[in-house]
């Protein structure tokens, strides 16, 4: 394992300078631009950040100020985070796909004067927000843009190009020798380094203030746990505003010095991933679900012999693959058989997905279905779950190699104490717990108790081996009138394992039965329909097809059969479902930007459909207001069919 850093580097700027001194020629960042990979080593990155920091200082950016950063994953935007920190400022990354109205709340709450934007699209949003808040004359007074395309005729006084700011910085440093070094040395480990806003599942987003010390604590623990070092590569493609990306693509890279690779665009991620061949990979469950959907669609289109070969070796993999990966005893014949499968199926499959070189893969952000988890481990991908939140630097529990359980999130991570409250809520104490919610002392006091424990809001249990199992959000776990515990997320994850189901929302709290909304996966179901000669004009039309209802009904029945085999969950089988006439969408406030369901909002918005479930209706008409990508609003109307589903006796599998 390569040397990482000394204990003296206790802030991110000091880590940067140490890497520039210890491994100046090692690649720090790569970015694919116009089809060509560009590379910067640690010495070059340090100089780029130095110039930007000095330029920002010359423009008036001072210690304690917040710097908004908005755009796709770009080296210069990661450098902007560090540049702000070099000056004692706080990086505030925003979700790049958020509409201007959503961004406005964060920009106003964080009192943003300086912003660094990727391109014309993000610059336009910032000016739209500024125009909508004329009473805030100190808001967004400086905008620095990275990509000059489309910016030629922009002449607003607030605007500067990235190059202009760096040129200003180099001149500033000549006039003030030693300025940059003094600013870096003035930084303290307990200074706030980054402010990440919560997804706002249950209310307005809150700014989570995390210090250098807290994220370095999480990075150090994670890197030592999985033996990460400067030789590793990661593909950084998830929103920079998400805590998972900040831990994996910034904090851990800045701690141990591995290479951050930025794809050309969101559309080229899979291609770029195959070219880079990362050794370390992180994705939320939705990405792994999409990968599996792509595989299943391709296999449906494959020839009969190829399909038969695939299913034969996948059956074998499900039986022995995970045990082989974990080093458990497996018979010689099965090992030889699996080796052949690796040559013919598993290896080519991982290569197509860009996972050939991955040594450690993680998923988090939402619970992953055990079946989905088992699939990837069975083909030899060392996929593990970890558990955390924005308020804990995404660092609470991790799964050790050789001690993986499909239904747990692992053991308490190094340096973390985890316990359960009397009501089952997960409580956490560690060096990675946030300092506070920005300007929200009341909200901070609600979640961090007098003993320093952070109240996660998640309900969990420990198994006999000390592994933590997350049941659901504590606020979402309820009881049915039958007395059965109702954990909607558990049911939804089982439904989403099927490639035809993109999203599911289950209802059953204080009810006698469980019912569910289903969003079909347009690509998977569209492909399925085309191969069967079923015509459709769009999502709403396809979702209403009787053949699609039958397809989804079969998936729901399989979930019910599975639930019937679990004594604790047998009473939560789905009795009725409908396929929604539109996809749940963050722009319609139905999902957060991290694609978590805003359960209460959805229940209120579609109350007429829930009432129809429990009134025994066979269909229900609904009109729903939607926002289009160009900002216009409209309505989608449909008469939705409600289908009944077969259920099974407890502890008995379906025939």
Query: Which residue ranges make up each domain of the chain?
Result: 12-282, 478-644
pLDDT class for 1, splitting at 50, 70, 90?
very low
- Percent of the chain's residues with pLDDT above 90: 74
Residue 601 — left, alpha, or beta (φ > 0 → left; ψ -120 to 50 → alpha)?
Answer: alpha
In whole angstroms, what is the distance from residue 374 CA to residue 380 CA? Answer: 10
- Residue labelled with tokens 């492909």: 527
The model's pLDDT over 501-558, given as tens digits with 9 standing for 90+, comes to: 999 999 999 999 999 999 999 998 999 999 999 999 999 999 999 999 999 999 999 9
In whole angstroms, what is the distance from residue 243 CA to residue 245 CA? Answer: 5
pLDDT computed for residue 150 by the predictor:
94
In whole angstroms, what is the distance from residue 497 CA to residue 586 CA? Answer: 21
pLDDT computed for residue 630 by the predictor:
61
pLDDT computed for residue 655 by the predictor:
36
The model's pLDDT over 247-292, given as tens digits with 9 standing for 90+, comes to: 999 999 999 999 999 999 988 998 999 999 999 999 888 888 888 8
Q: Which CATH topology does 478-644 take?
A: GMP Synthetase; Chain A, domain 3 (3.30.300)
Q: What is the sign of the dihedral through the CA atoms of 627, 632, 633 and 635?
A: negative
pLDDT computed for residue 651 by the predictor:
60
pLDDT class for 330, splitting at 50, 70, 90?
very high
pLDDT class for 357, splitting at 50, 70, 90?
very high
pLDDT of 652 higher than 50: no
In whole angstroms, what is the distance from residue 312 CA to residue 280 CA? Answer: 29
pLDDT computed for residue 497 by the predictor:
78
pLDDT of 627 higher than 50: yes
pLDDT class for 461, splitting at 50, 70, 90?
confident
pLDDT of 159 higher than 90: yes
pLDDT computed for residue 365 by the predictor:
64
Please state the pTM of the whole predicted model: 0.81
pLDDT computed for residue 3 by the predictor:
46
What is the average per-residue pLDDT within 292-308? 85
* Mean pLDDT of the residues in the chain: 91
pLDDT of 456 higher than 80: yes
pLDDT computed for residue 569 by the predictor:
80
Architecture, CATH, for domain 12-282? 3-Layer(aba) Sandwich (3.40)
**473 forms bridges with which residues in the sheet?**
458
pLDDT class for 489, splitting at 50, 70, 90?
confident
In whole angstroms, what is the distance from residue 624 CA to residue 285 CA? Answer: 28
Q: With contact defined as beta carbons under 8 Å apart, do 629 and 532 qualify?
A: no
pLDDT computed for residue 632 by the predictor:
74
């Amino acid at each position: 394992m390569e040397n990482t850093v000394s204990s003296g580097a206790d802030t991110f700027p000091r880590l940067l300078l140490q890497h520039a001194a210890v491994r100046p020629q090692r690649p720090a960042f790569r970015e694919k631009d116009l089809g060509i990979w560009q590379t910067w080593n640690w010495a070059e990155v340090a100089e780029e950040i130095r110039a930007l920091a000095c330029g920002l200082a010359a423009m008036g950016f001072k210690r304690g100020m917040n710097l908004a950063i908005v755009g796709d994953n770009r080296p210069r935007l990661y450098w902007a985070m560090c540049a702000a920190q070099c000056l004692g400022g706080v990086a505030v990354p925003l979700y790049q796909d958020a509409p201007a109205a959503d961004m406005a709340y964060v920009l106003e709450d964080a009192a943003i004067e300086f912003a660094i934007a990727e391109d014309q699209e993000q610059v336009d949003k910032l000016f739209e927000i500024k125009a909508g808040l004329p009473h805030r004359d100190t808001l967004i007074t400086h905008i620095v843009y990275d990509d000059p395309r489309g910016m030629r005729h922009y002449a607003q006084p607030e605007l500067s190009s990235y190059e202009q700011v760096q040129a200003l910085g180099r001149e500033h440093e000549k006039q003030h020798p030693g300025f940059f070094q003094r600013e870096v040395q003035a930084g303290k480990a307990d200074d706030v380094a980054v402010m990440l806003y919560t997804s706002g599942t249950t209310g307005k987003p809150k700014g989570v203030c995390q210090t250098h010390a807290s994220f370095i604590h999480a990075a150090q623990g994670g890197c030592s746990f999985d033996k990460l070092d400067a030789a590793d590569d990661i593909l950084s493609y998830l929103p920079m505003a998400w805590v998972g990306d900040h831990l994996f693509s910034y904090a851990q890279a800045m701690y141990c010095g591995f290479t951050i690779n930025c794809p050309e665009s969101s559309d080229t991620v899979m291609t770029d991933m195959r070219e880079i061949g990362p050794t370390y990979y992180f994705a939320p469950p939705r990405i792994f679900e999409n990968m599996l959907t792509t595989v299943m669609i391709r296999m449906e289109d494959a020839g009969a012999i190829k399909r038969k070969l695939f299913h034969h070796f996948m059956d074998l993999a499900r039986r022995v693959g995970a045990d082989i990966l974990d080093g458990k005893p497996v018979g010689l014949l099965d090992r030889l058989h699996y080796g052949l499968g690796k040559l013919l199926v598993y290896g080519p499959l991982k290569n197509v997905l860009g996972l050939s070189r991955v040594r450690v893969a993680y998923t988090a952000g939402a619970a992953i279905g055990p079946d989905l988890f088992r699939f990837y481990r069975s083909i030899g991908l060392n996929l593990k779950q970890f558990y955390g939140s924005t308020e804990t630097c995404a660092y609470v529990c991790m799964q050790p190699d050789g001690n993986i359980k499909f239904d747990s999130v692992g053991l308490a991570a190094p340096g973390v104490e985890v316990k359960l409250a009397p009501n089952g809520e997960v409580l956490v104490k560690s060096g990675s717990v946030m300092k506070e919610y920005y300007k929200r002392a009341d909200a901070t006091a609600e979640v961090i108790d007098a003993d320093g424990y952070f109240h996660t809001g998640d309900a969990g249990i420990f198994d006999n081996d000390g592994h933590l199992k997350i049941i659901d959000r504590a606020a979402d776990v309820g009881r049915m009138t039958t007395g059965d515990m109702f954990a909607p997320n558990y049911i939804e994850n089982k439904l989403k394992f099927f490639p035809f189901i993109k999203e599911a929302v289950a209802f059953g709290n204080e009810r006698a039965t469980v019912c569910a909304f289903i969003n079909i996966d347009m690509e998977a179901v569209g492909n399925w329909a085309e191969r069967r000669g079923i015509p459709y004009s769009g999502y709403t039309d396809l979702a209403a097809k009787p053949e699609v209802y039958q397809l989804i009904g079969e998936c729901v029945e399989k979930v019910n059969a599975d639930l019937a085999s679990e004594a604790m969950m047998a009473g939560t089988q789905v009795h009725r479902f409908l396929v929604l006439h539109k996809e749940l969408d963050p722009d319609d406030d139905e999902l957060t930007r991290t694609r978590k369901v805003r359960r209460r909002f959805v229940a209120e918005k579609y109350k007429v459909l829930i009432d129809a479930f429990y009134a025994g209706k066979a269909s229900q008409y609904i009109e729903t207001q939607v926002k289009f990508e160009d900002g216009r609003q409209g309505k989608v109307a449909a008469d939705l069919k409600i289908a009944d589903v077969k259920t099974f006796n407890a502890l008995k599998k379906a025939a």
